[in-house]
Structure 1
Amino acid sequence: MWKREFLSPHRTVGFCSLRRSDGRRHRRQETELVLKQLFPLSCNYLSSVRFTKRSAACCVGKTFSGKGPPRSGDLSPSMTLHNMTWVRYPSHSSTSFEDIISSQSIISRFMHCYFALFVPPGLLAGIGILVVFIKTCARGTSENLNAPFLAHALSSLLMILFSFTVTARPDYQEVSFLECGTLSFFFNLAYFGSQYLVVLMMLGVYLERHPPQNALITKAHQNPMVSIGFVLVWAFCTALIVVALLGIENYHARTSCQLDPLFAWPEYEIIKFTFGFGVPSASHLFCFILLLVKRPRPAAHPPRPNAHAHLTAVVVAITMFVGRLFYNVSLLSRTALKMQRSIGTPQNELVMNIAEITLFAESCVGLVLVLFLHTPYRSGFFSFIRNITKVCRKRRAGSRSHEMPETQS
C-alpha cells in the first residue's frame, strides 16, 4: 500500500503552502502538470493529496494494472525483451467486437474448407505411399530416392495429424505450459524434418545426374538410410534449440496454446525462420541452379528410368517454398509486433491463423503430388485399388451364386 498523506484543515491546500524549498516545490508542480496531462482520470486526487515520489509510482502503477491489455505506449521501460507476460491474443482483449466477429467467422470457414478438401486426399495419399513402399521393399525393387520420399511422407502425415489442433478455432486449446511446449517440440520436429528431407531429395537428384567423385559421398548416396538418419538428428537438435526459446517458467499454469506459441520469445520466430525456411530454401535454390547450369552430356549419361523421381523432387521443393513462404512471413510479422510491444489487431491474428492452415494444406498437397507424379507410387497405388476392386467383385459374385439356388427352390 502506498502511503498518502492528507493535509490537515489548518493548512492551505496546494503545493504553495508546503514547507519545502523552492526548487522542490517547482519540481513537484511540473511533475503534477505532466501527470495530469498523461493520466487525467487517475490523477484527479492530486489537488487534495500531497504528491510524493512514491505516490507518483502508485499513480503510474494503477494506470498499468487495469483489466485492458497493455498497449505499445503504455508499457513500463522496466519490461525486458524476454518478459512475455503481457502478450495476449487480440480476440481475447480487443474491444472492437465487429472485427473480432468477422475474423473469427473467416477463420472457421477456412478451417472447415481445409478439413473438407485437403485432409481426406492428404491422408489417403500418405497411406497409399506407405503401402506401396512396403510392397516395393518386399520385392527388392526400391530406388535410392524412394526412402527419402517415404520419410517425407511420414513427416507430412505427422503435420496433418498436428493440424487437428486447429479444430478449436476460432478459440484455442487451454493446456498447461509444459503440454504446450511438448506439443510445439514434436510439431517443430516434423516441420524441420520435412524441410531438410526435401533438401536431401534435391541433393539426391543432383548426385544421380552427376555422380560424386568422393568415396564417402558415394557410399552415403548409395545408402540413403544413413542420410535420413543424419537429417532426423539435425531436425531433432534444431527443434530442441527452438523449444528452449519458449521461455517457459510456470510449467503447470494454463494458457491458450498454438503449435507456435504466442508467449515464445522473439528469438523463437527468428531462429525458426532462419533454420526452418531460410537455410532450406537457399539449399533448394542452390541445387536447382546447379541442375540448370551443369547439364549432363546425353552420350555420357543416358536418360535414367528414375527421371520421374527427379521431377517429383523438384515440384515438391517448389510447392513447399510457395506454401511455407506465407507462413514464415506471418511469423516474422508477429515477431515485429512483439519487438514493438504491441499485441496487434484481430486482423493480425486472422492472418496468422490463415497462414497456419495454409501450412497444413501444403503438406496435403505435397503428399498428393508425390503419389501421382512418382511413377512407382502411382502404378502401385492403382494396382492396389484394382486388387481391392477384384476382391469386392469376387465377393459379390460369390454372394449372388449362393442366392440363385435359394430363389430357384
Structure 2
Amino acid sequence: LGSRALLCWMISHNMTWISYPSKNFAFISPEEIEAFIASQNIISRLMHCYMAFFVPMGLIAGLCILIIFIKNYLQVKIMENFDLLLLLFTISNIIMIFFSFTVIPRPDYVKTTHFACKILSFFFNLSYFSSQHLFLLMLLIVLLERFPPMPVLSQATQNPILGVGCVLIYAFCLSVCESVLLGTDNYHLKTDCQLDPLFAWPEYEIVKFTFGFGIPSFLQIICFTVLFAKEAPAEAPALQLHIRTYLPVVPISITMLMCRLFYSVMILLRTMLKLQEKIGTPQNELVMNIAEIVLFCESCTSLVFVLCLHKPCKDAVLKVLRNCKMENSMFELNRRK
C-alpha cells in the first residue's frame, strides 16, 4: 500500500509531459487554427497596451512617491508608521512592475533553464507575498487608529519595523516553500518560463491561492467590516474623516481583491488541468495570460492611487503643478514685455 501511494505521488508530480497548448500544434485541429491565431493576436496586443500605458504610468507614479517620501523625511527627520509601510508597499509594487517585463515576448515565453526560472519565480513570489501582507499591516494601522488597540496588535503598529520584519520573514518562508514545490529535477534543461512556472507541482498553485489570496483577502474583508460596521468610541474621529485620512486603502483594496481573485482562480483552474493530465486549450492559455497582465496592472494602478489620494503625495504634486503654472505665467509675462 505504501509503495502504491508513493508511485501515485511520483506520477502526480512528474511534470515532464506538460507544455503550453500554443507549443503543441498536434493537439490543435484545423478548425481551431483560426481561433488559435486570434488568441495569439489578443495576447500580443494586450502586452503592447500594458507596456505602453500601465508600465510608464506605474513607474512614474512609484518614482514620484519615493522622491516625495524621501524629501519629506530629510526635511522633518521623522516618518509616520503608515507612511513607512506605504513606502515599502510602493517598493514592492515597483519590483513587481520590473518582473512584469517577462511578458514582453508574449505570445511567446522567456527562454531560460529550469534553475533560472525557479530563481525568477522565487523573487517574484517574495515581492508578491510581501506587498499583500504589507497592505494588511496598513489596514491594521487604519483599524487600530479608530478603535482602542489590543496590546498584541498595538505592538506591531507602534513598532512598524517589527511588523515589517515579520512580514518579510513570512513572505520569505512562503517563497522558499513555493520554490520547493517547483520540483528539484531538470535544472539544466531549457524551458518556457513564466513567473508562476507551468511545470510547478499542483501544490504550488494551491499554496499560492491559499496564502497569497484566500487568507489575506479574508482578513481584508474582516478589517473593512469592523471598520464600517463596529461602533467606534466617542473620542474616535468621525468615520468619513478617518477614511479621508487613509483614503488610498479603499481603492487599493478593491483593485487588489478583483485583480488577484481573477489571477488566483486562473492558476487554480490550471491546477485542475494538471490533476487531469491535460494541457488545456489555446483559450485556457489566453485567459491565463490575460490574468497575469491584469495582476501587473494592479501594481501600476495601486501606485497611481497612492500618488493621487495620499495627502502628502497629493499636496506635493499640487505644489509642483502650481509652481509650474506660476513659472509659465511669469515667462509669458516677461515675453510680452
- Structure with higher helix content: 2
Where 1:170 maps in the other structure, the secondary structure is coil
Aligned runs of 1:336-355 on 2, under 5 Å?
336-355=272-291
Q: CA deviation at 1:386?
A: 4.9
Selected match of 2:311 from 366, 371, 375: 375
| Mapping of residues 5-44 of structure 1, within 5 Å | none
Residue type of the partner of 1:222?
Answer: Q
Contact 1:177 1:248 (8 Å CA) reproduced = no
Partners of 1:159 and 1:309 in 2: how far apart?
A: 27
Q: Distance in 1 between matches of 2:9 and 2:216?
A: 38
Do 1:202 and 1:314's aligned partners in 2 also have CA atoms closer than 8 Å?
no
Distance in 2 separating the partners of 1:125 and 1:188: 23
2:193 to 257, 265, 290: 257
**Aligned AA (1:117):** F
Asked if 1:300 is matched to 2:235, the reply is yes
TM-score (ref. length: structure 2): 0.88
Instruction: State the match for 1:283 in structure 2.
Output: 219
Cα drift, residue 311 of structure 1: 2.7
Query: Hey, what's the Cα distance between the residues in 2 that align with 1:155 and 1:255?
Result: 27
C-alpha contact (below 8 Å) 2:140/2:157 kept by paired residues: no
Based on CA coordinates, which of the two structures has the bigger radius of gyration?
Answer: 1
* 1:260–1:142 distance in 2 versus 1, CA, 3 Å: same
Other structure's SS at 2:111 match: strand
Matched residue, 1:222: 158
Structure 2 unaligned spans of 5+: 1-7
Instruction: Output one character per residue of 1:262-307: Cα deviation in whole Å (capped at 9) or x when no partner.
Output: 000000000000000001001101111111222314x422349764
Q: Measure how far apart 1:381 and its partner are.
A: 2.5
Please give the per-residue CA displacement for 1:105-153, whole angstroms capped at 9, x wherever unaligned: 0100111111122111111111111111112212336322111111111
The answer on whether the counterparts of 1:119 and 1:364 sit within 8 Å (CA) in structure 2 is yes
Cα distance between partner residues in 2 of 1:143 and 1:344: 49
Report the Cα offset of residue 243 of structure 1: 1.2
Q: Does 1:90 align with 2:37?
A: no
Alpha-carbon distance in structure 1 between the residues aligned to 2:55 and 2:9: 46
Uncovered stretches (5+) of structure 1, i.e. residues with no partner: 1-76, 405-409
Q: Which amino acid aligns with 1:172?
A: Y
SS at 1:168's partner residue? coil
Q: What SS is found at the alignment partner of 1:321? A: helix
| Counterpart contact for 1:118–1:361, Cα < 8 Å | yes
- After TM superposition, give the deviation of residue 361 of structure 1 in Å: 0.6
Check the 8 A contact 2:146/2:242 in 1, yes or no. no
Native 8 Å contact 2:65 2:90 kept in 1 = yes
State the distance in 2 between where 1:330 and 1:373 align: 31
Q: Residue 154 of structure 1 aligns with which residue?
A: 91
Per mean C-alpha deviation after superposition, the further-off stretch among 351-360 and 383-392 is 383-392
* 1:129 and 1:153 in contact (8 A); partners too: yes
- Find the aligned partners of 1:252 and 1:385 in 2 and give their Cα distance: 53
How many pairs are equivalent?
323
Aligned-pair CA distance for 1:217 = 3.6
Note if contact 1:114-1:357 (Cα within 8 Å) is conserved in structure 2. Answer: yes
* Matches for 1:315-326 after TM superposition, within 5 Å: 315-326=251-262
Please tell me the root mean square deviation across aligned C-alpha atoms, in Å.
Answer: 2.5
Could you say which residue in structure 1 is the equivalent of 2:118? 181
AA of the residue aligned to 2:39: S
Identity of aligned residues (%): 51
Partners of 1:206 and 1:287 within 8 A in 2 = yes
Q: Does 1:332 align with 2:268?
A: yes
Q: What is the TM-score when the length of structure 1 is the normalising length?
A: 0.73
Match of 1:85, SS?
Answer: coil
Q: Which runs of 4+ in 1 moved over 6 A?
A: 388-394
State yes or no: 1:356 paired with 2:292.
yes
The CA distance in 1 between the partners of 2:295 and 2:62, in whole Å, is 16
Q: Is the 8 A contact 2:146 2:237 kept in 1?
A: no
The answer to whether the 8 Å contact 1:242/1:268 transfers is yes
Q: Is the 8 A contact 1:90 1:349 kept in 2?
A: yes
Deviations 1:311-335 (A, max 9, x none): 3213211210011111011000000
Local SS of the residue matching 2:112: strand
In structure 2, do the counterparts of structure 1 residues 392 and 131 end up closer, same or farther at CA, with 3 Å as the change threshold? farther
> Alpha-carbon deviations, 1:220-257, whole Å to 9, x = none?
31222221121111111111111110013121111110
CA distance in 2, matches of 1:101, 1:221: 52
Q: Is the 8 A contact 1:159 1:363 kept in 2?
A: yes
- Relative contact order (alpha carbons < 8 A, sep ≥ 6): 1 or 2 greater? 2
For residues 310 and 300 of structure 2, what CA distance do their matches in structure 1 show?
16
CA distance in 1, matches of 2:54, 2:192: 26
Distance 1:266 1:213, change over 3 A: closer
Cα distance in 2 for residues equivalent to 1:389 and 1:242: 51
1:393: how far off? 8.9
Is 1:127 the equivalent of 2:63?
yes
Task: Tell me the alpha carbon deviations over residues 148-196 of structure 1, each in whole angstroms, 9 at most, x when there is no partner.
Answer: 1111111111111111110000001110111000000011011101111
